[in-house]
Amino acid sequence: MFANVLIANRGEIACRIIATAKRLGLEAIALHTPADRGARFTRLADRVVEVPSYLDAQAIVAAAKAAGAECLHPGYGFLSENADFAEYCAIEDIVFVGPPPEAMRAMGLKSSAKAVVARTGAPVVPGYYGENQTAKFMRERAYQLGYPVLIKAIAGGGGRGIRRVDSHIEFEAALESAQREAEASFGDGRVLIEKFIASPRHIEVQVFGDTHGNVVHLYERDCSLQRRHQKIWEEANSPALNVEQRMKIGEICAAAMRKLKYRGAGTVEFLYENGEFFFIEMNTRLQVEHPITEAITGIDLVNEQIRVAAGAGLSVTQADIVFSGHAIECRINAEDPRTFVPSPGTITHFHAPGGLGVRVDSGAYQGYKIPPYYDSLIGKLIVHGRTRVECMMRLRRVLDEFVIDGIKTTLPLFQDLVTNPDIANGDYDIHWLEEYLAKTAV
């Protein structure tokens, strides 16, 4: 096992990783930028090192070497899925806590990921994922697929570089717009085309592999409540699947990752409609919503990441992994709950709820000044219950107890959602939230 770990991230995920590091007896070394001086995660760490940016790979590796870091945990976002950064760490004898660079490259682009996964026999959304990017050729392929279709940036994320096209006449303008946004956002203007699936759920499966050829799945999460392709509410397990369906898709994912000799944490994402799953992408890192999987399985996923990075086998076999109850996560953002305009500023009062089955992952506290430079996520509320009904009742209570003053947050939105009959019945798809927001707009 390592003696220490350097956390190349910030906010709630840095606090989360530090918690497991300390439980394992590892020294926690935190990186921070000038904007994050004095942030909660820097106070929790055993040592801190300042860098100019969380995206400055050269400065981060230099800081890690100077600190004597044996391994580096990238969290999510920033450089967490950057294969070049992972290789750079290896060159400098720092273990990157994540999958090998070749796996990150294979799964990093939506087009190559679909080709790789399709070869394993897993179901994939019908579409075109090739290299010919000319408008004439792409338009012909869209026509062959049949409208509506989605145009997606192959290097995309966060809902950027995506366009829905409903007719042939709209295609070229939408293609140009998507390519332009993709180039500006990711430095790669290439796109793919997918058949638009009308009313799907977003189902993702947590997988884990080690260096000894073992791969397991930890069941699924339902991330269908989204705004502009950004998840805001996640559940484990999905209220839309039965036992047979969840076991089948879990086994499909584990088998696919076994064929690919995948190592580390990963999440295989699908659209699900009318009993069918369609692979859309894979994230080769820890997900924001990983705590709900931890809640139902009792397994510390960061612990497993560090074990695997150290060369140890997984601490569990598939037979050991059973789920208990139901868990929901609400992403609490520093945003207006209706317009979603960011709301940086000073938190004047902060009270996190507690009690049985309640977990709050946050880097915020009373007096904390939220900087305007980073993602607006300030915390995650995770609630677990023996049943989904119990979980929803507990969530309703703790949302009323959660107090964050001085800034606008999305707490009022979740207070509305938890009382909505469709949500209570688990009757929603990936379009439900945007339709709800449009209907309830003032």
CATH number for the domain that contains residue 243: 3.30.470.20
In a domain, 102, yes or no: no
In a domain, 121, yes or no: no
In a domain, 107, yes or no: no
For 62, phi and psi rounded to 5 degrees?
-60, -40
Residue the block writes with tokens 């688990």: 426
Cα–Cα distance for residue pair 246/161, rounded to 1 Å: 31
> Which of 135, 160, 195 finishes a domain?
195
Domain match, 81 and 176 both: no
In a domain, 364, yes or no: yes
Spatial CA neighbour of 115 closest among 281, 272, 234, 227: 281
In a domain, 169, yes or no: yes
Domain match, 18 and 158 both: no
Contacts (Cβ under 8 Å, ≥6 apart) of 5: 17, 21, 26, 27, 28, 29, 69, 70, 71, 72, 73, 97, 306
In a domain, 373, yes or no: yes
Domain match, 186 and 258 both: no
Pairing of strands 71-73, 358-362: unpaired
pLDDT in tens, the chain (442 residues): 899 999 999 999 999 999 999 999 999 999 999 999 999 999 999 999 999 999 999 999 999 999 999 999 999 999 999 999 999 999 999 999 999 999 999 998 888 888 888 888 888 989 998 899 999 999 999 999 999 999 999 987 777 899 999 999 999 999 999 999 999 999 999 999 999 999 999 999 999 999 999 999 999 999 999 998 899 999 999 999 999 999 999 999 999 999 999 999 999 999 999 999 999 899 999 999 999 999 999 999 999 999 999 999 999 999 999 999 999 999 999 999 999 999 999 999 999 999 999 999 999 999 999 999 999 999 999 999 999 999 999 999 999 999 999 999 999 999 999 999 999 999 999 999 999 999 998 6
Domain containing 84: what range? 4-97
Q: Token digits for 381?
A: 């509320």
- Rounded to 5, what percent of the chain is helix, strand, coil? 35, 25, 40
Q: Where are the alpha helices (DSSP H) in 68-109?
A: 83-91, 101-108
Cis peptide before 291 (omega within 30 of 0): no
Number of domains in the chain: 3
285 given a catalytic annotation: yes
Q: Token digits for 341?
A: 């305009």
CB atoms within 10 A of CB 315: 14
Domain match, 364 and 302 both: yes
Domain match, 190 and 206 both: no
In a domain, 9, yes or no: yes
> Which of 136, 163, 195 finishes a domain?
195
Domain match, 187 and 216 both: no
Say which of 10, 40, 246, 285 is annotated catalytic.
285
Q: What is the dihedral of CA 124, 128, 133, 138, to 10 degrees?
A: -140
CB atoms within 10 A of CB 154: 22
Domain match, 342 and 413 both: yes
